[in-house]
Every structure is written in C-alpha cells, then in structure tokens.
Amino acid sequence: MKCLVTGAGGFIGGNITRRLLKLGHEVVTFQRGNYPELNQSGGTHLQGSITQKELLMDAMKEVDAVFHVAALAAISGPREDFEQANVLGTRNVIEACKANGVKRLIFTSSPSVVFDGKDQIGIDESEPYPSFYLADYPRTKAIAETEVIAANSDQFWTISLRPHLVWGPGDRHLFPRIIERARQGKLKLVRRHGMKIDACYIDNAVDAHICALNQIATNPDCRGKAYFVSNGEPTSPEDLINSFLSCAEMNPIRPSVSPLLAKAAGWLIENIYKTPFFSGEPPLTRFVAHQQSTSHWFDLSAAMRDLDWKPTISTAVGIERLRQHHSAEEPVST
C-alpha cells in the first residue's frame, strides 16, 4: 500500500513512517523541514507546508492512505498561526485526498479537544466538545477533528485518534522540556490528592495508527469516529514525572503548588506575555495550569473493540527503554 505521512519530521510522524516502511509499505512523507535521519530511512520525502494546497495535491498522486499528523502544537502563539496550520491545513489534506481518490485518512488528534478545564476521569468518546477553550491549540484541533469526521463517506473513510502525552525514546519535546526545567529549578508540580493522568508510550500510539489503517477497510463501525489512545495505566503526575527524572539520574521532586495558585499564575503569566515587553513562549498558561491541576485518563474500550488495538508496552517497560536510550546522551538536548 502507498501511504503518505504529513509531519513526518516530528516524533509521532517519524515513528509512523519507520513502522510503515518496516511493514513493507511504500511511503511518501510531507513536512516543512529537511531531516537527514528521515531521508536515510527509505521512502520518498517531500518538503512543504500543508497550507500549500497544490504541493499536497501533487504529493498525494496514486496514494492509498494518508496519515495526517502535522500540526502546530504550541501552547501559545498568534491565533492566525493555529488557524492556518490546524484548520486550513487539515482542510487542504481532506480536499487533496478527495481530489486524488485517496480512500483512507487517519488523523492524529488530541484528547485536549474535549478538555473543558475540569477533571476527565475515565471518560469515553461520548464526551462532548466544550463551548469554550483555554487555548487555540485544542480549539483548532477540535475544528479539524470535526471536519475529518464529517468528511467520512462510503467513498472516503476517516478515523481520528487522540493519543495523550506521547513519550519515549526520540521525543524532542515532552521529556527534554521536563528535564531542562528540572535542571533550572523551575519544574513544579501541583499538590492535589488523588489526581491521576494517563500518558501514551510511542509504540502504543504507533500501533493504534497501524491498527486504524487496517481496520478501517474491514470494520465499517470504526469509520467516521474518534478514539482515545493511551497506556491504560492512570498514575499520579508525581510518579510519572519522577520516573522521567530518574532516566536522567535526577532527584525526584514533590508537589508544592496549590491548584488555585497554579491557575492564577497561568492567567497572570499568559497575559503578561501578551504585552510588548515580553516575547517567546510563556513558561505557564491557563491551559497548561488547568491541565496540571486536573485528572485526565480515559476509557480505551472503544479503540480496543473497534480497532483491534491494545497498549502492549507498559509504562514500566517504556521507562526502562527511555533510560537505556538516554544513558549515553547526557546532557539531554532541548
């Protein structure tokens, strides 16, 4: 099968690409940058933005399936940038798929599309989209997801996957950011009893994408739907983050910030960074503060049932793999 992967220069997209090649598929990738490691993996690698519709049209010629992973996943930034990348870019992908007769579209979404700032305790896919979003990233990803799902038809099959906090060897964002902030003495945890989160090891996220590719052709029940994807092991943020710190041989930290203080600080810092006196990404926003102050874990039974998928790499095994991967890579780059 000939597959196209958008955003293959990223962590999830790159791993999907390598898995597809390993399985014997013909792969075309489409990403903004030039990635030597990706170029050496095999396949055909095209450079461009998903906002460039004509380039996408050409890239999708004779393609059977598309994995749309590319997105702007920043915690802040100009509203227009999120609209262009996540909304317009997804519309271009859908249009290019239809114009080229692509049959299958697997969209990488996020659980944040249904996050309303409150606890998400064992929620399933019936959870509605909120009426208000704390950031442009989840808002625009929700728009994109609804349009992907609405595009599903007898001639064009779509699935949206919602992997949560994807981590593992090769991650250039979540793990390095945690380690760097800990080294700077800026890593803080919210103190709230009973709070749990569920993250997703990279192999489990990739498995879900491959299962979706296979099942979408044989199981009509999975078409036009969204699915949560994670490890299925809700744990305290303290335990998970300290496991990450142990991989870098760093001391554990303890929760020390109240939820109220975290949310107030997020609001204040986010607004300060909107003034002309500050630039760059704020260290804390309302969205991040609410995420860090709430539980978020999910009922995975729909993905297990409809996609014939289950998480096969436990958190403990994933941590050990992460430890081995980074054992010879000190300091962790950011």
pLDDT of residue 38: 83
Domain chopping of the chain, boundaries? 2-166+200-230+298-312
Enter the DSSP assignment of 197: B
pLDDT one-digit tens code per residue, 259-298: 899 999 998 998 998 888 888 888 889 999 999 999 999 9
| Peptide bond just before 255 cis, omega within 30 deg | no
Report how far apart, in Å, the C-alpha atoms of 132 and of each of 11, 31, 281, 284, 293 are.
29, 31, 22, 19, 18
pLDDT one-digit tens code per residue, 70-110: 999 988 899 999 999 999 999 999 999 999 999 999 999 99
Beta bridge partners of 47: 31
Residue among 99, 216, 212, 214 nearest 157 (CA): 216
For the entire predicted model, the pTM comes to 0.94
pLDDT one-digit tens code per residue, 154-183: 999 999 999 999 999 999 889 999 999 999
Mean pLDDT of 243-256: 94
pLDDT of residue 277: 83
Nearest-angstrom CA–CA distance, 328 and 90:
39
User: Which residues are the active-site residues?
Assistant: 137
Q: How confident is the model at residue 332 (pLDDT cuts 50, 70, 90)?
A: very low
Mean pLDDT of 195-212: 98
pLDDT of residue 334: 36
**Pair of tokens at residue 65:** 């399936």
For residue 327, is pLDDT > 90?
no
pLDDT of residue 33: 87
- Using DSSP's 3-state secondary structure scheme, residue 304 falls into helix
pLDDT of residue 75: 86
Beta bridge partners of 123: 298
For residue 330, is pLDDT > 80?
no
pLDDT one-digit tens code per residue, 19-31: 999 999 999 999 9
Residue among 201, 198, 197, 199 nearest 168 (CA): 201
> Of all helices (H) and strands (E), which one includes residue 244?
helix 237-247
In CATH, the number for domain 2-166+200-230+298-312 is 3.40.50.720
Other CB atoms within 10 Å distance of the CB of residue 104: 22
Nearest-angstrom CA–CA distance, 34 and 20:
20
For residue 333, is pLDDT > 50?
no
pLDDT of residue 329: 61
With a pLDDT cut of 70, the percent of the chain lying above it is: 98
